């Protein structure tokens, strides 16, 4: 018989019976909602980044796919070049936007790969991919970092573009022979100069002499202010 007294468990059985039904179900449902809510918060943190931690501008396709380095004043003052290194080790070589060749009126008007002892554009390299992203190239010429790749000309001057990294020359961008204007419009993409594969041990030494993107910007844009949201 239930007389409203405490049962053997020490719980007011009358009170327990009185909250059974809608009130109890509502309490249980509320607990479930809180658990689901906690799960949603965790999922939201994983899927939606914190805006305060995002960069002011998103990375470019080059910055996303390559490690970006620069060789300022390479051999001569104002001869700034870039080195974009892919995760597979290949290095794309080109002219940095602050290179002297871009400062003259009309920009670059001609590109000549016939430098040194042979025409770089005539040397074709063949090869195949080996295991673990290694490559075995045949007929590749091995150059030092200061070896000339080509000569770019403006209306008044000419400049020698160099390898910047020690390694095997795999390809030059022979499109530039007929379309030198690619250097003026997209030197960091379609207007690249060459692709070189350095050895792993050589890259470690080379990397120490190059500047990161931020270091390059600080060097060439000393008055650049940090943008704020």
Do 46 and 25 have their domain in common? yes
Do 10 and 83 have their domain in common? no
Q: Is residue 229 part of a domain?
A: no
Q: Consecutive sets of 10 residues in the chain, 229 residues long: mean pLDDT of each? A: 51 49 54 58 67 57 79 96 94 96 92 87 62 55 93 95 95 95 94 94 93 94 52
Nearest Cα to 100, choosing from 164, 152, 34? 152
Do 136 and 194 have their domain in common? yes
Burial of 86 (0-12, 13-18, 19+ CB in 10 A): middle
The CATH number covering residue 193 comes to 2.40.50.100
Range of the domain at 35: 1-54
Q: Is residue 177 part of a domain?
A: yes
Q: Is residue 226 part of a domain?
A: no
Do 141 and 98 have their domain in common? yes
- Which pLDDT score, from 0 to 100, does residue 132 have? 43
- Which pLDDT score, from 0 to 100, does residue 228 have? 34
Do 67 and 113 have their domain in common? yes
Do 127 and 192 have their domain in common? yes
Enumerate residues 6+ apart whose C-beta is below 8 A from 219.
Answer: 72, 211
Do 74 and 41 have their domain in common? no
Residue 94 and residue 193 in contact, taking contact as beta carbons nearer than 8 Å: yes
- Which pLDDT score, from 0 to 100, does residue 61 have? 57
- Which pLDDT score, from 0 to 100, does residue 137 have? 61
Q: Is residue 225 part of a domain?
A: no
Do 196 and 114 have their domain in common? yes
If one counts the domains in the chain, the total is 2
Do 147 and 99 have their domain in common? yes
Among 54, 81, 99, identify where a domain stops: 54
Q: How far is Cα 224 from Cα 217, in angstroms, rounded to an integer? A: 8
Q: How far is Cα 229 from Cα 212, in angstroms, rounded to an integer? A: 24
Among 17, 38, 54, identify where a domain stops: 54
Do 147 and 78 have their domain in common? yes
């Amino acid at each position: 018989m239930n007389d409203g007294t405490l049962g053997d468990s020490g719980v007011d059985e009358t009170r327990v019976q009185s909250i059974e039904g809608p009130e109890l179900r509502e309490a249980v449902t509320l607990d479930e909602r809180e658990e689901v809510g906690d799960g949603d918060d965790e999922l939201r943190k994983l899927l939606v980044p914190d805006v305060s931690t995002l960069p002011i501008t998103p990375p470019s396709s080059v910055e996303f796919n390559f490690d970006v380095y620069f060789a300022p004043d390479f051999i001569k003052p104002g001869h700034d070049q870039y080195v974009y290194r892919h995760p597979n080790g290949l290095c794309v070589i080109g002219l940095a936007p602050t290179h002297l060749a871009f400062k003259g009126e009309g920009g670059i008007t001609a590109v000549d790969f016939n430098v040194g002892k042979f025409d770089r554009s005539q040397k074709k390299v063949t090869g195949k991919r080996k295991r673990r992203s290694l490559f075995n190239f045949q007929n590749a010429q091995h150059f030092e970092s200061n070896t000339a790749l080509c000569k770019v000309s403006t209306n008044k001057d000419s400049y020698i573009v160099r390898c910047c990294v020690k390694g095997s020359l795999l390809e030059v961008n022979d499109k530039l022979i007929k379309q030198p204007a690619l250097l003026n419009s997209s030197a960091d993409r379609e207007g690249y100069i060459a692709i070189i594969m350095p050895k792993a041990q050589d890259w470690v030494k080379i990397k120490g002499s190059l500047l990161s993107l931020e270091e390059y910007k600080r060097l060439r844009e000393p008055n650049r202010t940090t943008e704020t949201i």
